[in-house]
Amino acid sequence: MGKQLKECLKEHEKVLSDEEIRSSAEWNALAENLMIRIKIFQHERLIHLIVTMTMCLLTIIVACALFTIGEAALVPFMLLFVMILILTAAYLSHYFKLENGVQSLYGYYYKLQEKSKKV
């Protein structure tokens, strides 16, 4: 999904920087197309938020278990904690990029709406 988001951002940045004269209907069509894409990315963002929060909760649970277990199971739980922590960091990074990308798309959408009103 990250690749699609980058392509969408580049495409709309190119459209907005283009000096081509367009009618109000064309600007509206571009804005509606972008809103459809934003809705798709919003759904993706919601799913990743749920997964990220679940991973964070699991990380906290395993961290608490590390403090309450005996020495016999310390090494396996430590390995589990490190693996989950790395996975959580990856999910947080991806969610951060997805969130910022969607916010940028909102900015492009507002600019497209302004251009459709000016024409």
- Per-residue pLDDT tens for 84-100? 999 999 999 999 999 99
What pLDDT is recorded for position 3?
A: 86
Q: Is 19 a residue whose pLDDT tops 80?
A: no
Identity of residue 32: E
What pLDDT is recorded for position 55?
A: 94
Question: Torsion over CA of 58, 62, 67 and 72, rounded to 10 degrees?
Answer: 170
Q: Which two tokens stand for residue 107?
A: 């900015």
Phi, psi angle pair for 18, to nearest 5°: -70, 135
Q: Is 77 a residue whose pLDDT tops 90?
A: no
The CA-atom distances, in angstroms, between 25 and each of 10, 29, 100, 110, 111 are 22, 6, 28, 15, 15
Break the chain into its structural domains and give their ranges: 2-8+23-118
pLDDT band, very low/low/confident/very high, at 61 (cuts 50, 70, 90): very high
What contacts 108, CB < 8 A, 6 or more positions away? 9, 12, 13, 16, 34
| Residue with the larger pLDDT of the pair 17 and 82 | 82
